[in-house]
Amino acid sequence: MCGVAGLFAYHEQAPLIERRELDRICDHMAVRGPDGRGAWYSADGRVALGHRRLSIIDLSERGAQPMSAGAGRLHISFNGEIYNYQSLRQELEAKGFAFQSDSDTEVLLHLYADRGVEMFGCLRGMFAFMLWDEASGRLLLARDPYGIKPLYYADDGRTVRVASQVKALLAGGRISRQVEPAAMAGLLLFGSVPEPFTIREAIRALPAGSYCWVDANGAGTAQQFFSLAGIFREAVERPLPCKSGDLQEIVRAALLDSVCKHLIADVPVGAFLSAGVDSGSLVGLMRDAGQRDIQTLTLAFEEFRGQSRDESVLAERVARHYETRHTVRVVTEQEFQQDLPRILDAMDQPSIDGVNTWFVSKMAHELGLKVALSGLGGDELCGGYPSFRDIPRWVRAFSLPSRLPFLSTVWRRLCGVLRAFWPGLSPKVAGMIPLGGSYPGAYLLRRGLFMPWELSQLRQADELREGQKRLDILRTLETVLRPDPGQAFARVASLESSLYMRNQLLRDTDWASMAHSLEIRVPLVDSELLRRLASVFVAQPALDGKSLLAHSPSRPLPSEVVNRPKTGFETPVSAWLQALPSLQVWRQEPLLAGPGVHWSRRWAYTVMALSVGS
């Protein structure tokens, strides 16, 4: 796992690349790659690639980047892991390609030389890279199917700048810090900035599952090579014919294959372990994959001791069950307050989440780990969220009422009157009829922190009004469902994976882990795994996917873990924030200052205000 950077002065009137700018960008990403630093510059001074290295595969200098091939015609700066690189290498060697290293990076170079952009259909892994093709005079940008690894770029009309972090691009000193209003609106609506927007107006995220060419005309339109909705649509149209008795073996085989691939490394691989099914199942599958010496890690909080929210008790039970080397680390309020400035600084884009990942990644680093597996993605894959139940039910109930405009207007007015007598009435109730009848609208109701009409009550109303126009949230949600997955489970899975998981969970995992020079791998977020299991879950939407996951290890999870009521991986952040008056900027907002307001709304407003002011 690494940090990548690139500059391309594509316009004939653009000044040549300033090496100090590339240095500043790369230096900002030092913690992403503490094991090495490299740079490559074209002879004409118009192209530069930079790299910060965290050595995971081929620890020798032969794996250093930027890397070149094709008699110096191709140059790459790559962040991520290609889990099927060994089989791809064998295919390329059979065609006569010669390798100078044992790295997956060199496989990418030769694969591009062999297949061009058709290469993306062959890759299994998480990746974000830029590849300079000297013969064509073009720079290729690419990002993995799920968007596990980030890639950001800015095009000022003369030069394109690319990096793994928004703040790294800003550190170069050549990009405006002007805040993007759409990012402000998206942050308040969902708790994270929806791509392709970033918190800075001049910077965009390359969309997940796409590639983009930068040539003499600048950055082109992103071309999609992977579609979550498309995978589900194909699964619905071509359901997997299998007997119910075969389901467990189908799921087990697919999961074990993914775990085996994600264990490929030249350094030890540990695992995060909570009291949930997802992480516990992965640890069991790690043993089935042949790993016996497994370091597992769990966080605990003094405030949760003796409560169901204490993950450590059941996690230790699972660790004994799978005979792992287990470590529990207690995080205190004092440590949180000490770390908070560093957390906010490392938070590449504002988010209401990521604190838990920060501390468990810090723990992994303290134990000397460079790589750890996470159970992130299990709920999106197996339908574990309440949204898989609620959203289809709401759509069925409100489909007809939502088509009657007068009824929506009357309902909104009635809810306004009711709130005058019942201040605790959720603002989402007013949106049930106007929004609940469609999947995009119902998803906004289920996942939204603020409702769109509430943003006009905040001090930044003008900026947020402009932001909502740019974001066009319902249209944005609709694009996630193109092509229409064709079935309720598939639609919700597409929405959750493309929005909540991508914009919040995966992005927070990246910045929080990289702040501690740790690579987090997510075997349940894998394009090949999705292809193999989508047909199973859409064919039988009432299937208990979490039970199948729990029984996939040859030694299934203990029943007390499987039957435990679902809870999130919580931290006592809301209580800790109450002790920090300097962060309570939300008190100036009547909408947020009253009693009973959920802390996530206040925290979303706080991180927005901090980002706007930075």
**Which of 539 and 428 is assigned the larger pLDDT?**
428
Task: Name the phi and psi angles at 359, rounded to 5.
Answer: -75, -35
List CB contacts of 55: < 8 A, sequence separation 6 or more. 35, 36, 63, 266, 267, 370
Q: Please tell me the least confidently modeled range out of 27-36, 273-282, 579-588.
A: 579-588
Q: How many Å apart are CA 128 and CA 81, to the nearest integer?
A: 9
**Phi-psi category of residue 75: left, alpha or beta, with phi > 0 → left and psi -120 to 50 → alpha:** beta
pLDDT band at 379; cut points 50, 70, 90: very high
pLDDT for residue 570: 64
Superfamily of structural domain 2-226: Aminohydrolase, N-terminal nucleophile (Ntn) domain (3.60.20.10)
Instruction: For residue 317, give both structure tokens.
Output: 């039970």
pLDDT for residue 1: 65
Q: For tokens 């316009």, name the residue.
A: 11
What are the domain boundaries of the chain? 2-226, 229-384+490-571, 387-463
Specify the 3-state DSSP secondary structure of 484.
Answer: coil
pLDDT for residue 566: 65
pLDDT for residue 410: 87
**For the segment 134-189, what is each residue's pLDDT rounded down to a tens digit?**
999 999 999 999 999 999 999 999 999 999 999 999 999 999 999 999 999 999 99
**For the segment 449-483, what is each residue's pLDDT rounded down to a tens digit?**
999 999 999 999 999 999 999 999 999 999 999 99
Specify the 3-state DSSP secondary structure of 384.
Answer: coil
Q: Is 73 exposed, middle or buried (0-12, 13-18, 19+ CB in 10 A)?
A: middle
Same fold, 2-226 and 229-384+490-571: no
Is the pLDDT score of 574 beyond 80? no
Task: Name the phi and psi angles at 3, rounded to 5.
Answer: -120, 130
Q: For tokens 């309570």, name the residue.
A: 584
Residues 503-527 have a mean pLDDT of 98
DSSP 203-261: -EEPPTTEEEEEETTEE---EE---HHHHHHHHHHS-----GGGHHHHHHHHHHHHHHH
Please, which residues bridge with residue 47 across strands?
Answer: 8
Residues 321-348 have a mean pLDDT of 95
Helices of type H across 422-526? 432-435, 439-447, 461-471, 473-480, 488-495, 507-514
pLDDT for residue 70: 87
Q: Are 33 and 52 in contact (CB under 8 A)?
A: yes
pLDDT for residue 598: 86
**For the segment 352-364, what is each residue's pLDDT rounded down to a tens digit?**
999 999 999 999 9
pLDDT for residue 244: 65
pLDDT for residue 101: 96
Q: How many Å apart are CA 285 and CA 258, to the nearest integer?
A: 10
Residues 232-240 have a mean pLDDT of 89
Residues 471-498 have a mean pLDDT of 96
Q: How many Å apart are CA 402 and CA 435, to the nearest integer?
A: 7
pLDDT for residue 595: 78
**For the segment 582-597, what is each residue's pLDDT rounded down to a tens digit?**
788 888 899 998 777 8
Q: For the whole model, what pTM was predicted?
A: 0.96
Q: What percent of the chain has a predicted confidence (pLDDT) above 90?
A: 81
Q: Which fold has domain 229-384+490-571?
A: Rossmann fold (3.40.50)
Residues 81-96 have a mean pLDDT of 97
Q: What mean pLDDT is reported for the chain? A: 94
Q: Is 83 exposed, middle or buried (0-12, 13-18, 19+ CB in 10 A)?
A: buried
pLDDT band at 536; cut points 50, 70, 90: confident
pLDDT for residue 569: 56
pLDDT band at 576; cut points 50, 70, 90: confident
**For the segment 290-334, what is each residue's pLDDT rounded down to a tens digit?**
999 999 999 999 888 878 788 899 999 999 999 999 999 999 999
Is the pLDDT score of 495 beyond 70? yes
